[in-house]
Homo-oligomer: A and B are copies of this chain.
Amino acid sequence: MATATATGTRLDLYRQIARQLRADSIRSSTAAGSGHPTSSLSAADLMAVLLSGHLRYDWSKPKDPANDHLIFSKGHASPLVYAIFRAAGVIDDAELLTFRKFGSPLQGHPTPILPWVDVATGSLGQGMPIAVGMALAAKRLWDAPFHIWTLVGDSESAEGSIWEGFDLGGHEVLPNVTPILDINRLGQRGPTELEWDTDAYAARIESFGWEAIVIDGHDVGAIDDALARARDASVPTAIVARTIKGKGVSFLEDKPGWHGKALSPDEAKKALAEIGDEPSRTFDTAKPEAWRPPQANSKTPVLKTYTEPVATRKAYGDALAALCVANSAVISLDAEVSNSTHADEVKKVAPERFFEMYIAEQKMVSAAVGMQVIGFRPFASTFAAFFTRAYDFIRMAAISQANIRLAGSHAGVSIGEDGPSQMALEDLAMMRAVHGSTVLYPCDGNQTAKLVAAMADRGGIVYMRTTRANTPILYKPDEEFPIGGCRVVRGGAASDKVTVIGAGITLHEAVNAADALAKEGVQVRVIDLYSLKPIDAKTVAASVNATGGRLVVVEDHWPEGGIGDAVLAALAGARVNAVRFVHLAPRKMPGSGKPAELMHAAGIDADCVARAVKELLG
């Protein structure tokens, strides 16, 4: 009966760890006076068995590429996350009790300020598709031995993004990721939609091409078996665990009104007595076997050069393909429009590094976040308008300290006949308002190539807006375009009367206006603001000062939050006074039409720029 005894000992150990995870979840949240202890208690058994029986992780080397990954998609169960770190011995009791306090890395929801956290969670429905995206790159490009675990809440399964994650895992057949669904029946304000209907969860999961293992999430033996089966499975496998919110504390178990509420010190004392209050200790986690991913090659990319008009979206695709050739860490994701964004150029040179995300922008951005965790350099592309679909994911990616590159094509009214649903007119506002973001908007093929190359090495959320139409070549291939810079493309003399600022498609309108005005003897200075954020406030300010404060900004974007707002903020920051400002931007809802018709109707073509200049000059 040695085996039975060994099993018994193992199960006892799991139970002991679970008790500690519960106790520490209560201790930390009670010390904080807030947090989500009951959402932690429901998953304590699941995580105890994972930690001690199945996770392969070297806690002393969180960056070891051989490590498993554990992503709490239900990020509000952060007391459990930190209790795990305490059980692993990487934080001590005193640190645990800094939970949610100012300056502590143990924030209300987990973020990668802690080295054992891959991504920030807390906006629900994100950790799971991030985990699946990570699994996709790990399997396809490395056949990596590590496994990815993600704890998913039942409430968050109402988010469509969870089903985008299941869709991806099923379609790509990813057995190296295991979502563990913590079906504790209670959401924030009451019962979840499906309560304890684990069969319904299983049916949904299976319909997306996965196997679902339904278990009692407090039966450590069943958990043990399920985790083992999931790790060894050759098909995508998820665990659906029926649990009890607040499990282990009688007055919390399955009781409404306890979501997101810490126990008072008295209540905590009672709860800890019930759980069995012992000093917390450190438990072993199995280390992974040594493994390194293939060495990434990295050369200087050989960028295509242009002499004839080309769409910047095409130049984007060309440059991305060149980057893929030069650097095996560079990857491309696209939401079923790669023949429009021209990300399909990647398929010609590195088909295995092109990831088709179908029409699911949330999935695309979360997959990109997951893939950058393990060292890839993702570029994700779709129509600029459709990045609005993923704004929550982009915002969260900034909190995750993720390095992702986003390219949005078909921006503005200048796309023409397709009409307003396809016209990004708010993307610059959206992307500027992301913490630490970079926002680029090139106007010609050669500039695009250089900026795409710069994106590969740039940290944070880096956004490029590209244009549908072919645009003339303004720059030579050997010119440089540092991020944070701008270019004076017309004028530059002390005699310039007005500064005109454009970018992308409108830069050409500004240039055409300047050339027409020059023939009439009116000298204007045209600035190509290819880098909206960071912005070259110094050059912009000096130019506006030099032209007597007269300024025209012309952009293919709603008046709010785009180039106009960026320029005004830069000028205000530079204490430039006496500005006389005309802002040309679409102000009515556009319809369909030829690009030139729509740009004229929006007041942003060369004629409108010339008229604005003349108005400013009186």
A interface residues with partner B (beta carbon < 8 Å): 32-35, 75, 100-109, 111, 113, 120-125, 155-156, 158-164, 167, 171, 187-189, 192-193, 200, 203-204, 206-209, 336-340, 344, 358-363, 385-386, 388-389, 391-392, 395-396, 398-399, 417-422, 425-426, 429-430, 432-436, 533, 549, 558-562, 564-566, 568-569, 572-573, 575, 577-581, 583, 589, 591-594, 597-598, 601
Contact = CB atoms under 8 A, between A and B. Distances in A.
B188 A589 contact: no
A616 B539 CA distance: 24
Contact of A421 (B396, B433, B568): B396
A320 to B, nearest CB: 16
Contacts of A362: 160
Contacts of A569: 559-560, 564-565, 568, 583
A208 B589 CA distance: 37
A204 B208 contact: yes
Contact of A430 (B204, B429, B598): B429
A393 to B, nearest CB: 8
24 contacts: A102-B592, A106-B592, A107-B592, A109-B418, A120-B420, A120-B421, A156-B359, A159-B360, A160-B161, A188-B339, A188-B340, A192-B358, A386-B392, A388-B391, A425-B433, A426-B430, A432-B560, A433-B562, A436-B589, A564-B569, A572-B579, A572-B581, A572-B583, A575-B581
A593 B106 CA distance: 10
Contact of A111 (B339, B419, B568, B577): B419
A21 to B, nearest CB: 21
A429 B339 CA distance: 31
Contacts of A161: 160
The count of identical subunits is 2
B389 A392 contact: yes
Nearest to A395: B388
Contacts of A579: 572, 577
B578 A419 contact: no
Contacts of A124: 359
Given A206-B207, A395-B426, 13 more contacts: A102-B597, A111-B591, A122-B422, A123-B389, A155-B336, A188-B339, A193-B358, A385-B395, A399-B589, A425-B435, A433-B561, A565-B569, A572-B579
A575 B192 CA distance: 54
Given A204-B208, A358-B192, A426-B434, A108 B419 contact: yes
A101 B592 contact: yes
